[in-house]
Amino acid sequence: MRQTIARIHLDIYRDNIRAMREAIGPDVKLMAVVKSNAYGHGLVQIAQAAQEEQVDFLAVAIAEEGVILRQAGIDVPILVLEGLSAQSTRQAVLYGLTLTVHTKEHVQNAYAASKECGKPADVHLKLDTGMNRIGVKDKEEIPQLLDLLATMPQVRLRGAFTHFACADNADQGMTDAQLARFFKMIELLPKGLLLHAGASSAALMRPDTRFSMVRVGIALYGYPPVQTKVKLRPVLSWETEIIHVKEIRPGDSVSYGATMTANRPRKVATLAVGYGDGYKRLLSNKVSVLINGKRCPVLGTICMDQTMVDITDAGPVEIGSRAVLIGRDGEEEITAEELANIAATISYEVLLSISSRVPRTYHNEL
């Protein structure tokens, strides 16, 4: 069996939840964001760990993710962050998911689904304060939606929220402006709603954005987007194995396009991982892996299924030896953030790019 695996350390995820709870204080609820297969970590397993840690809410992007969780026995409240079609709304109501609404059509769909399913539909109102993605943009629309909701008692308005576009920027001007708009918009809403605005960045550095609840995704996986004293550790490590070892001579090139040519004798290992596994091709000749606790540079172009690395100075290496792509080996560590910086992207994308052919294994090393 190919030994390219992603290890998910559920004990670390739980520690991160506890650290975040301590940071936000006892009066603020915690919503754990598990959308997109829990940022590549495994939807059901991460949600189960979050439920065991008694998070107040889970967040998913689409109804199908919420249905999977309900079918797996997750009974924590679940917010679907996208506005849904009529068909998806019915599915969400049937499984007791909380809906995001920001148009009359969303409210009407929720009402129709509620009548059909014979159960109430809980909704949160999405307010667009400057992201210009989804949400009610003009506060004049809010009374119209409230009037419509008043005619549909089966559709229960439980919360309202917004999302900040630049919360991780050093310049907080945009966040300040969005926060001011949010305050003006929520003045028009009934009292007692669950209000949430801050995601990972704002939750950590802006107490004034926490309101009733914070939505935390990437920080719980160990990658806070801002500098923080809160102890948050990466949950995922990624490793593979050496499947071939050879010597090359000066003048020999490595991999497609001959993008690397040896200037001295080198020992080269071929790893059982490539861009088909999510180890991005644009990392070619730019990153290292860890073998025997030492950094071994990638040589040449990363292939679909294999990658070559320089093990000249790595010490004893043989077929079957372990290579760490993300994680710690001895005193050295490679993070998704490091790979993201080299690839000119963000840690979210690096984690989500690890493909489905890489098995996830789950560990509780308490």
Give the Å distances, CA to CA, from 348 to 36, 121, 163.
10, 31, 17
Give per-residue pLDDT as tens, 209-231: 999 999 999 999 999 999 999 99
Q: State percent of the chain over pLDDT 90.
A: 99
Q: Judge whether residue 2 has pLDDT over 90.
A: no
Q: Which pLDDT band holds residue 365 (cuts at 50, 70, 90)? A: confident
Catalytic residue among 29, 35, 126, 280: 35
* 236-363 has the same fold as 10-221: no
Catalytic residue among 104, 231, 256, 286: 256
Q: Tell me whether residue 256 is one of the annotated catalytic residues.
A: yes
Place of tokens 């050879």: 246
Report the distance separating Cα 96 and Cα 73, nearest Å: 12
**Amino acid identity at 277:** D
* CB 125, CB 136: distance < 8 Å: yes
Q: Tell me whether residue 35 is one of the annotated catalytic residues.
A: yes
Compute the mean pLDDT over every residue in the chain, rounded to the nearest whole number. 97
pLDDT of residue 4: 97
Report the distance separating Cα 214 and Cα 30, nearest Å: 5
Fold type of domain 236-363: Lyase, Ornithine Decarboxylase; Chain A, domain 1 (2.40.37)
Report the distance separating Cα 244 and Cα 320, nearest Å: 9
Tell me the HSE value of 9 on the side-chain side, using a 13 A CA sphere.
20
Alpha carbon dihedral 41, 43, 48, 53, in 10-degree steps, equals 60
Fold type of domain 10-221: TIM Barrel (3.20.20)
* CB 120, CB 146: distance < 8 Å: no
* CB 240, CB 273: distance < 8 Å: yes
pLDDT of residue 366: 52
Place of tokens 């070892």: 245
- Helix, strand, coil in percent for the chain, rounding step 5: 35, 25, 40
Q: pTM (2 decimals)?
A: 0.96
Q: Compute φ and ψ for 274, nearest 5 degrees.
A: -160, -170
Give per-residue pLDDT as tens, 8-66: 999 999 999 999 999 999 999 999 999 999 999 999 999 999 999 999 999 999 999 99
Query: Exposed, middle or buried by CB within 10 Å (0-12, 13-18, 19+), for 148?
Result: middle
Give per-residue pLDDT as tens, 91-124: 999 999 999 999 999 999 999 999 999 999 999 9
- Return the domain boundaries, the chain: 10-221, 236-363
pLDDT of residue 1: 76
Give per-residue pLDDT as tens, 246-269: 999 999 999 999 999 999 999 999
pLDDT of residue 40: 98
Count of all residues that appear for the chain in the document:
366
End-to-end CA gap in the chain: 28
For residue 347, what are the contacts with CB-CB under 8 A and spacing of at least 6?
218, 223, 335, 336, 337, 340
* CB 60, CB 217: distance < 8 Å: no
Report the distance separating Cα 49 and Cα 231, nearest Å: 18
In the predicted model, what is the mean pLDDT of residues 171-184? 97
Helix (H) or strand (E) holding 214: strand 213-216
Q: Judge whether residue 292 has pLDDT over 90.
A: yes
